[in-house]
Structure 1
C-alpha cells in the first residue's frame, strides 16, 4: 500500500513540475509581449507629443491670422 501511495505522490509531483514549467514559460512569453507593448506605447507617446507640438504651432498661426484679419478690417 505504501508503494502505491509513493507512486501516486511521484505522479502528482511530476504533474505539478510540468504545470510549473508551463507557467514559467507563459510568464516569460507574457514578459516579452509586455516589453514589446511598452516599446510601442513609448513610441506612440513620442508621436503624440510631436503631434501636440504641431497642433499648438498651428493654433498659434491661426490665432495670428485671425488677429491680422481683424486688424486689416478695422
Structure 2
C-alpha cells in the first residue's frame, strides 16, 4: 500500500509543478496584456485629441464655406 501512496504523491507533485508553470505563464501573459492595454489606451487618447483637432478644423472650414456662399449670393442679388 505504501508504494501506491508514493506513486500518488509523485503524481501530485508533477501535477503541482505543471499547475505552477501554467500559473507562471498566465501571470506573464497578464502582465504582457496589461502593458499592451496601456499602450492602446495612450494611442486612443492621442487619436481622440487628433480627431478633436480635425473636427475643429472642419467646423472652421464649414463656417468659411458658408460665408463664401452667402457672399456669392449677396453679390448675385446686386
- Correspondence 1:1-74 to 2 at 5 A: 1-74=4-77
Unmatched 5+ stretches in structure 1? none
Count of aligned positions: 74
Q: Provide the TM-score with structure 1 as the length reference.
A: 0.99
Q: Provide the TM-score with structure 2 as the length reference.
A: 0.94
Greater than 6 Å deviation, 4+ residue runs:
none
Per-residue CA deviations over 1:26-64 (Å, capped at 9, x if unaligned) read 000001000001100100000000000000000000000
CA distance in 2, matches of 1:26, 1:67: 60
Larger radius of gyration: 2
